[in-house]
Amino acid sequence: MIRRDSKIGSAFTVMEALLALTILGLLLAAVAMSMQAGVKNYGENEKIAQLIQTSQVVLNRMMSEIRTAQAVDTDTQRISIIPPENDDGLTNIEYELVDGVLYYRQTINGEQTSQALISSDDVAKVVGFTVSRETAIGEDDLIYTRSVTAALELQAGDNQFTTTASACPRRNMDY
């Protein structure tokens, strides 16, 4: 009769140890890939949030200035706003898309300043900016702007987002 020592049967063989290490390596690789995907998704979500915030801030500012405007003129990629009389000497405000850069211009006391609101090297890039306006003829037979609609299309990474806003100038208000 052959006698077995209980200590010999309970040890791992080299093959079993290699198999256990292989399974552990595969599990660690799967966890690492999952973590990497989570970090990548976080980065994409951060870009999308930046995109949405940028478009909302720009369009809210634009529409606020249109609402208080004395007059508004537009073409397909430009808005020119004549503000009400003011003590600051501000006579014209303009938003214009030129070569993928959205510019904000002010004319104060005859001097024009220009500032890029969204430039081509920002996280959010302007893909499109379209402007349309509805006009009407007033009691004095002059053409005036009834409403302005602006659509701002931005891109961050592979994500594209379009925001649209409309406003009506308050022509009959005293400021």
Gap between the Cα atoms of 129 and 104, Å rounded: 13
Task: Give the chain's residues under pLDDT 70.
Answer: 1-10, 122-123, 171-175
**Residue 13 DSSP one-character state:** P
Write the pLDDT tens digit of every residue in 118-144: 877 766 788 889 999 898 888 888 888
What pLDDT sits at residue 99? 86
What pLDDT sits at residue 73? 87
Residue 92 lies in a domain: yes
Residue 23 lies in a domain: no
Instruction: Please say whether the beta carbons of 88 and 110 come within 8 A.
Output: no
Residue 55 lies in a domain: yes
Residue 119 lies in a domain: yes
Segments of the chain assigned E as strands: 71-75, 78-82, 90-98, 101-108, 111-118, 125-137, 143-156, 159-167
Residue 145 lies in a domain: yes
What pLDDT sits at residue 108? 92
Residue 12 lies in a domain: no
Give the domain range for residue 81. Answer: 33-167
Could you tell me which of 145, 151, 152, 150 has the C-alpha nearest to residue 168? 145
Total structural domains in the chain?
Answer: 1
Task: Indicate the residue type of 5.
Answer: D
Residue 16 lies in a domain: no
